Amino acid sequence: MGQTMTRAARIAGYIVVLWLGATANFLLPRLLPGDPVDFLIGDDAGRLTSAQRTAMLAQFGMDRPLIEQYRHYLSSIARLDLGTSLAHGKPVLKVIAARLPWTLLLVGCSIILAFVIGFVLACLFHWVERARTSSALMCTVVFFGSLPPFWVGMVAIAVFAVTLGWLPTHGAASLEEGVTWGSVFHHALLPVATLTLGYIPSVFLVARASLEDALGEGYVALARSHGATPLRVLLRQAAPIALRPIVNQFAMSFGVLLGGTVIVETVFAYPGLGLLLYEGILALDFPLVQGVFLLLVFSVVLANIAADILQVRLDPRLRIGLDAAA
């Protein structure tokens, strides 16, 4: 009973977070000065009569009082109707659905690569016991992580696309060949590398710290006293335990990286959600911006739920803790 209550409280917490996110998502674009008619008509929007302006806003349901718009917004979310994009003239869900796979490809590949590389580097950091080498490794990783993704992207284009001619500068697939696996892979390499490079340091720092904790545990000392080699201790004893916070970060990073694609997708003219969001903000396309942000909010909350479940599965002590609390 107690455990059920705890779970119910958690679910209620998630619902409140979702509601707060959705409400902020509704209010924030409306706090900006101006309205989307300025984008639809351009510089001549000033000459519209108020009746014309209202008629245009009515097409997108924006002529109604704020509270009515809010009520309509919440009920539409429940029906999975995110409205109609002003810039695209299509249902937002359709527009997002067309772009989501491209971003999932970038983010999915980048997360996996960043975690593998970050974790391996953290293991390397602990395995190489020389202080100077460890410091150099730390400095290098942090240095690359501090570079602005915009700059990294442009340098990558200049080197690998313009100078060497190995990779394409922009887009998600070849225009002539169409969407083939080879073409998609080829076009994704530079944006994935740019995103990955920016995310490795945070994985590395978390993995390094958790490995350090794990290496200080008693059972590791026991393993050492039984003559286990440092590499075996690191990989067999410390790494599995150190993975727990990393898995947590893995789930959380999905939402973070989804938001982080705005710059990378703009630099590489990559037709994903980030570029869509950027174009939506430029156009004050409220329904579209709300739709994309809502997706981000949902993905972060879902990632949290997934991380919670995984944590308990990975570390039985947490389940015991939960039972004790119940």
Quick one: tokens of 242? 């150190």
Q: How far apart are CA 131 and CA 10, in angstroms?
A: 44
Segment lying near other proteins (by CB under 8 A), choices 11-19, 85-93, 118-126, 234-242: 85-93
- Out of 73, 83, 99, 257, the residue judged to bind other proteins by CB under 8 A: 99
- Out of 17, 45, 57, 205, the residue judged to bind other proteins by CB under 8 A: 45
Minimum distance from residue 281 beta carbon to other proteins (Å) = 6
Segment lying near other proteins (by CB under 8 A), choices 47-55, 202-210, 244-252, 295-303: 47-55
Q: Applying CB under 8 A, does 63 fall inside the site for other proteins?
A: no
Beta bridge partners of 243: none
Q: Applying CB under 8 A, does 283 fall inside the site for other proteins?
A: yes
Count CB atoms within 10 A of the CB of residue 294. Answer: 20
Binding mask 119-158 vs other proteins (x if CB under 8 A, - otherwise)? -----------------------------------x--xx
Q: How far apart are CA 108 and CA 111, in angstroms?
A: 5
Task: Identify whether the C-beta of residue 84 lies closer than 8 Å to the C-beta of residue 90.
Answer: yes
Residue whose C-alpha is closest to residue 77's, from 1, 26, 145, 153: 26
Token pair 């008629």: residue:
55
Q: Applying CB under 8 A, does 267 fall inside the site for other proteins?
A: yes
Q: Applying CB under 8 A, does 208 fall inside the site for other proteins?
A: no
Q: Rounded to a whole number, what is the distance in angstroms from the first to the last CA of the chain?
A: 8
Beta bridge partners of 174: 178
Task: Identify whether the C-beta of residue 215 lies closer than 8 Å to the C-beta of residue 228.
Answer: no
- Of 187 and 208, the one with the shorter C-beta distance to other proteins is 187
Q: Applying CB under 8 A, does 44 fall inside the site for other proteins?
A: yes
Residue whose C-alpha is closest to residue 299's, from 309, 287, 307: 307
Strand (E) positions, 208-325?
none
Minimum distance from residue 40 beta carbon to other proteins (Å) = 5
- Out of 120, 142, 282, 309, the residue judged to bind other proteins by CB under 8 A: 282
Q: Applying CB under 8 A, does 316 fall inside the site for other proteins?
A: no
Token pair 């690359």: residue:
144
List interacting residues with other proteins (CB under 8 A). 32-35, 38-48, 52, 55-56, 59, 84, 86-90, 95, 98-99, 154, 157-158, 161-162, 165, 168-173, 175-176, 266-269, 271, 275-276, 278-279, 281-284
